[in-house]
Structure 1
Amino acid sequence: MTRIQHHRAGARESGRRFSVVAYLLHAAGRVLERHPEANAVMAPGWPGLRAPRTVRFTGVTAKLALDRTADGERTVLSALLPGLECADLATIQARIDRYRSPAASGLPEFRGVRMLDRLPVPLGRTAFATALRNPRRRPAVLGTVAVSSLGHRPVDGFHAGGGTAVTLNAGQVVDRPVVRDGLITAAPLMRLGLTFDHRVIDGGAAADVLADLKQTMESFDDGPASPGTGGQAELRVPDGTTTAGTA
């Protein structure tokens, strides 16, 4: 995290503020575009009509979990950030700030959530499940990758599943002893975890994604990225198996 912390410090000197989550989202968009097999979901089938199949998405939409209080109760607000494969850091941070504002729960983006909350629980669950059955609508409902951070608390690591093929879990950034050029020195480190749906990708592919994400964050660059494709879904039917052979 040395490079990122230096970039954050330089930004603060010029009056800008970037959260660690913004860098994680920035890197996640680039990495999942390079690993389309992880930017996917196992779509359910219809009994007697169609078998479950893997759906790959052509755009990266993150579902960011935010700690909120609504009507006196602590709850989780899931904010969607589309187009991460081509969004720059400033754009990502602006979206995060919008969703973290005190009036976030009243934003038009959460109108569907408010409507579900007003429905009886059985009906709300049915409506939500129905929306998720259509893979082309799924990015606008649940995103294509989930991101959760507990870095604001003294938490190093945790494991959460956000309903997507890949969920990224970020802990706190703290100085720890590391070895560089044969010498022990202090450096800012963050424990980054990844949980994955074994029906969509296997352990080897998940390890590739996590390794690429680590390298991308360590070599942070806010330069231009390739044009986005709008988060549309591309349907691909697997060749007979949907489970992995490695752990």
Structure 2
Amino acid sequence: MKSKVLNYPKHRKHTYHFLDYAKKFSPVYLSIEVDFNNIQKARERIMNETATKISYISFIIQSISQVLRSYPKANAAVKGTFFPKIAFYDDIIAKFTLDKTIDDERVVLSGKVLNSDTKTLESIQSDIDYYKNSTFQQIEDFKPIHKLHSLPTWLGNVLYKKNIDDLKKRHNIQGTFTVTSLGHKPIKYFYPITSSTLCFGIGSIEEQAKVIESKVKIRPILPICLTFDHRTIDGALAADILTEIKTKLENWGS
């Protein structure tokens, strides 16, 4: 049987550069389960009252962002080996992944929500919908990716690393944290590769039996997995952040 060896597809070059850069990071993995009962009720109430569809990702982005405001040491990024540097950012910028197509090929791209800690759910959803409903060619943020796709892989890799290594620019390119979801599929836990200090992997909601006030009740449970860069923060701080996110989501509206 013959094999076919081809040049690396140009529409995946941005992913190649991202993964190559992510080798520098020191990932550690945590996970937690969240009772999503109050979020489901809040989402249904908003949709009934305003006819506005709010995705679960909007709730998650807002909650992470507001929690992160209390942990400025985690809203940061590290670079370097022999002379490492760390940057702390005043702005909180959420990055989220989405499926798009380029020349009929399915790829993963990412959008951003600026100042995500101060935005309403509706405003966050509006930002998500912009990236979701626009084509690859229409989105201004994707112009650098156009350029990367057109360059020889080696040159694109050099330029990508040069830009992302600039700590003063990195948060505007990468966000200060990332949310990536496979919740539309029956995936429970997954731990993303990251090139930011915090990256949250969102699985699918599953109904489970839980003991609540000495009674067994069926609850919608959402798994959230966290990949964090151990160069920037330690596990205890990451655990505090993840636990506080769980508390905020579970007590939504309380």
TM-score by length of 1: 0.84
Correspondence 1:172-191 to 2 at 5 A: 172-191=204-223
The answer for the alignment partner of 2:190 in structure 1 is 158
Correspondence 1:105-184 to 2 at 5 A: 105-184=137-216
CA drift at 1:62: 1.5
CA drift at 1:106: 2.2
The answer for the alignment partner of 2:59 in structure 1 is 23
The answer for the alignment partner of 1:9 in structure 2 is 44
Correspondence 1:1-247 to 2 at 5 A: 1-14=36-49, 15-44=51-80, 51-221=83-253
Q: CA contact under 8 A between 1:146 and 1:163: conserved in structure 2?
A: no
Secondary structure at the aligned position of 1:34 is classed as: coil
Secondary structure at the aligned position of 1:157 is classed as: coil
- Report the count of equivalent residues: 218
CA drift at 1:142: 1.1
| Residues 144-172 of structure 1: per-residue CA shift (max 9 Å, x gap) | 11111111111111100221011111111
Q: Which amino acid aligns with 2:46?
A: A
In 2 relative to 1, CA 209–168 (structure 1 residues): closer, same or farther, beyond 3 Å?
same
Structure 1, unaligned stretches of length 5 or more? Answer: 223-247
Equivalent-residue separation in structure 1 for 2:251 and 2:162 (angstroms): 41
CA drift at 1:70: 1.4
Equivalent-residue separation in structure 2 for 1:44 and 1:164 (angstroms): 14
Relative to structure 2, which stretch is displaced further, 96-105 or 145-154? Answer: 96-105
| Residues 78-135 of structure 1: per-residue CA shift (max 9 Å, x gap) | 1121101211110000111111115244211211111221111111111111111211
Q: Which amino acid aligns with 1:21?
A: I
| Residues 6-41 of structure 1: per-residue CA shift (max 9 Å, x gap) | 011112213111111111100111111111111111
Q: CA contact under 8 A between 1:33 and 1:59: conserved in structure 2?
A: no
Equivalent-residue separation in structure 1 for 2:93 and 2:134 (angstroms): 23
In 2 relative to 1, CA 165–157 (structure 1 residues): closer, same or farther, beyond 3 Å?
same
Q: Which amino acid aligns with 1:176?
A: Q
Structure 2, unaligned stretches of length 5 or more? Answer: 1-35
Which has more helix, going by share of residues?
2
TM-score by length of 2: 0.82
Matched residues, percent identical? 28
| Residues 28-84 of structure 1: per-residue CA shift (max 9 Å, x gap) | 111111111111111226x6xxx1122111111112111222112221111121101
Equivalent-residue separation in structure 2 for 1:83 and 1:116 (angstroms): 27
CA drift at 1:220: 2.3
Equivalent-residue separation in structure 2 for 1:197 and 1:31 (angstroms): 18
Secondary structure at the aligned position of 2:203 is classed as: strand
